[in-house]
Structure 1
Amino acid sequence: MEIIAVIGCGAMGRGIVKNLVKSGYRVYIYDASEAAVRYCEELGAIPNASSYQAAQQAELVITSLPGPEIVNNVMLGAEGVFAALKPGSFVLDMSTIDPKTAQNLYESAKGQQVHFYDCPLSGGPKGADEGKLTIMVGGDEVHVSAFRPVLDSIGENIFLLGPSGSGQVAKLCHNMLVAVIKAGLGEAMTVGEKAGLSRGQLAEVLQSGSAHNRVLDVFGDNILKNEYENVLFSLAHMSKDIHLYTETADYYQADSPLGQMVSGMYQEALKDGKGNLDSSAICDSGSKIIT
């Protein structure tokens, strides 16, 4: 497997492209953003006029897209990725979507003799750039060995989790916990500041005790400065993911009181105009606490 198409070359996709090219793959790309395409072209990727055209030339397609609706639009229909691919080809969707959509796409791909896997990511743009992503894989395990080298070229921790949709369930559960931790940090930092502690003092205590968390390691610079223009993962995207988490909980008939609560907090932050800030802006000392 030497020829790969990457559709979606944004913050995550460009790191994926970089490491695929570095690993010796021939990489065709498509993105609606001309700037994203130019950036990846400079890395050695080959631009295409559409996702259909990029997929036509590939044995395996990786997609990194904003959400379920656009993933459906890119995959399905006469000009969709599934229609463009030869039988026996692979699609690894590295977007964050809901498991129901992933399962439906798996069935649609199967009808066209294409192997579809949900492969959402963790590690952010930095992890993508360094080829150190965590990849959560849902789909038929029997075929994974065929594309495992592709995963290894962009990821450091690969988890084969079960049937279609399993990767998305893991990713949404992961992001729900990240969202809850960020909201908790925001409240704790605000209370600490009101009582006279600096954010730095409190963070040092937290990271030395049982409350130690990687969220503060990754997003700490934003949180400690109480400045959120440095976007590692946008608040709008986190809000979308937590909404998908609550929908997934409903789909599986599971209670999600914490998910519902934190989803409300992120929705309120969106209304306050913080969608384009980093998701750690939920820790803004001016944020409202929603109960």
Structure 2
Amino acid sequence: MAAIAFIGTGVMGASIVKHLLKAGHEVTVYSRTKSKAQPLLELGATWSETPAQASENKDIIFTMVGYPKDVEEVFCGQNGIFEGAKQGAIVVDMTTSEPTLAKKLYMIALEKGLHSIDAPVSGGDIGAQNGTLSIMIGGDAAVVESIRPVLETFGTNIVYQGGAGAGQHTKMCNQIAIASGMIGVCESIAYGLKAGLTMEQVLKSISSGAAGSWSLSNLAPRILQQDLEPGFYIKHIIKDMKIALDEAEQMNIQLPGLQLAKDMYDQLLIQGYGEKGTQALIKYYDK
């Protein structure tokens, strides 16, 4: 069994830690708010006061925090991972972050005798709870293979994408499809309700056809139940869309569908929905 540190125990991180503990791994956790980690401590996880302390003598160090600035802070800041990690440790950032930052962390890790992998995930809170996350990975292939058994405790679709940053670029492809696709899901529901249809019945027809998608199967029912609680926060999808649009600009490509989705979500953020799930885009149509 591996000695593991896990930095960031939010909606998805907490579920991943539970899978690691269930598999018999020794897990030390750190989050900015200790109370969020309390249920994990009761299950056998160990608490640390800083990322550096959590990383000491660990084989694998996972991070899953909010924003690129948070990633840089927990790795490179005072009492950060790079201060505490032992030679040969593998650091795995599962935050959806900037490809350029992933490459930067990879180079710093090499200089310090560490291995760095960017491994953002998809599947939301449901995938994390069920241990069925899709994991997209950038870094050295041999290092990835060495920790595959650990990744398999919480992921079922684990795909190596290439060198450092490739995992984050792949996650941008994922987020572009999700953000634009959510417009279709919400417009379908808004249209069906206006037409007087019973949308639960409509979903039975369209979810398994050509319109089928993860969002239609998992988030559309939440919308109908008026459940806007987050599997993934609006404030975070906005962050991801900005990263993707910035990268697209550098590559000189236009993504008008993504820009439209960001504009719509920005309006919801202004209205106070930043802490709600991405399915709260339905509120855009409450006019």
CA distance 1:77–1:195, change in 2 (3 Å): closer
Paired residues for 1:2-17 under 5 Å: 2-17=2-17
CA distance 1:108–1:273, change in 2 (3 Å): same
Q: Contact between 2:62 and 2:91, CA under 8 Å: does it hold in 1?
A: yes
Q: Secondary structure, in 3 states, of the residue corresponding to 1:180?
A: helix
Q: Find the aligned partners of 2:214 and 2:63 in 1 and give their Cα distance.
A: 27
The equivalent residue for 2:266 is 267
Q: Find the aligned partners of 1:151 and 1:88 in 2 and give their Cα distance.
A: 18
Q: Find the aligned partners of 1:130 and 1:276 in 2 and give their Cα distance.
A: 23
Q: Which amino acid aligns with 1:271?
A: I
Q: Secondary structure, in 3 states, of the residue corresponding to 1:92?
A: strand
The equivalent residue for 1:240 is 239
Q: Find the aligned partners of 1:195 and 1:20 in 2 and give their Cα distance.
A: 47
Q: Secondary structure, in 3 states, of the residue corresponding to 1:29?
A: strand
Shift of 1:22: 1.3
TM-score with structure 2 setting the length = 0.94
Q: Contact between 1:176 and 1:245, CA under 8 Å: does it hold in 2?
A: yes
Q: Contact between 1:189 and 1:202, CA under 8 Å: does it hold in 2?
A: no
Q: Contact between 2:117 and 2:144, CA under 8 Å: does it hold in 1?
A: no
Q: Does 1:85 align with 2:85?
A: yes
Q: Secondary structure, in 3 states, of the residue corresponding to 1:263?
A: helix
TM-score with structure 1 setting the length = 0.92
Shift of 1:208: 4.8
Q: Find the aligned partners of 1:11 and 1:196 in 2 and give their Cα distance.
A: 35
Q: Does 1:252 align with 2:251?
A: yes
1:27-53 CA-partner distances (Å, limit 9, x unpaired)? 111111122221110121111111110
Q: Contact between 2:268 and 2:284, CA under 8 Å: does it hold in 1?
A: no
Q: Contact between 2:185 and 2:215, CA under 8 Å: does it hold in 1?
A: no
Q: Find the aligned partners of 2:267 and 2:243 in 1 and give their Cα distance.
A: 16
1:168-209 CA-partner distances (Å, limit 9, x unpaired)? 111121122111111112223223333333433443342253
Shift of 1:144: 1.9
Q: Contact between 1:269 and 1:287, CA under 8 Å: does it hold in 2?
A: no
The equivalent residue for 2:168 is 168
CA distance 1:272–1:77, change in 2 (3 Å): closer
Q: Contact between 2:264 and 2:284, CA under 8 Å: does it hold in 1?
A: no
Q: Find the aligned partners of 1:72 and 1:164 in 2 and give their Cα distance.
A: 16
Shift of 1:220: 2.0
Q: Find the aligned partners of 2:42 and 2:270 in 1 and give their Cα distance.
A: 38
CA distance 1:84–1:181, change in 2 (3 Å): same
Shift of 1:142: 2.3
The equivalent residue for 1:142 is 142
Shift of 1:287: 4.5
Give the number of equivalent residue pairs: 287
Q: Find the aligned partners of 1:53 and 1:204 in 2 and give their Cα distance.
A: 50
Paired residues for 1:221-240 under 5 Å: 221-225=221-225, 227-240=226-239
CA distance 1:100–1:192, change in 2 (3 Å): same
Q: Does 1:110 align with 2:85?
A: no
Q: Secondary structure, in 3 states, of the residue corresponding to 1:12?
A: helix
CA distance 1:214–1:145, change in 2 (3 Å): closer
Structure 1 regions of 5+ residues with no counterpart?
A: none
Shift of 1:83: 2.3
The equivalent residue for 1:199 is 199
% identical equivalent positions:
34
The equivalent residue for 1:211 is 211
Q: Which amino acid aligns with 1:245?
A: A
Shift of 1:285: 6.1
Q: Secondary structure, in 3 states, of the residue corresponding to 1:284?
A: helix
Q: Secondary structure, in 3 states, of the residue corresponding to 2:79?
A: coil
CA distance 1:208–1:24, change in 2 (3 Å): closer
Q: Which amino acid aligns with 1:256?
A: L
Q: Which amino acid aligns with 2:3?
A: I
What is the root-mean-square deviation of aligned Cα atoms in Å?
A: 1.8
Q: Secondary structure, in 3 states, of the residue corresponding to 2:273?
A: coil
The equivalent residue for 2:179 is 179
Structure 2 regions of 5+ residues with no counterpart?
A: none
Q: Contact between 2:11 and 2:231, CA under 8 Å: does it hold in 1?
A: no
The equivalent residue for 2:51 is 51
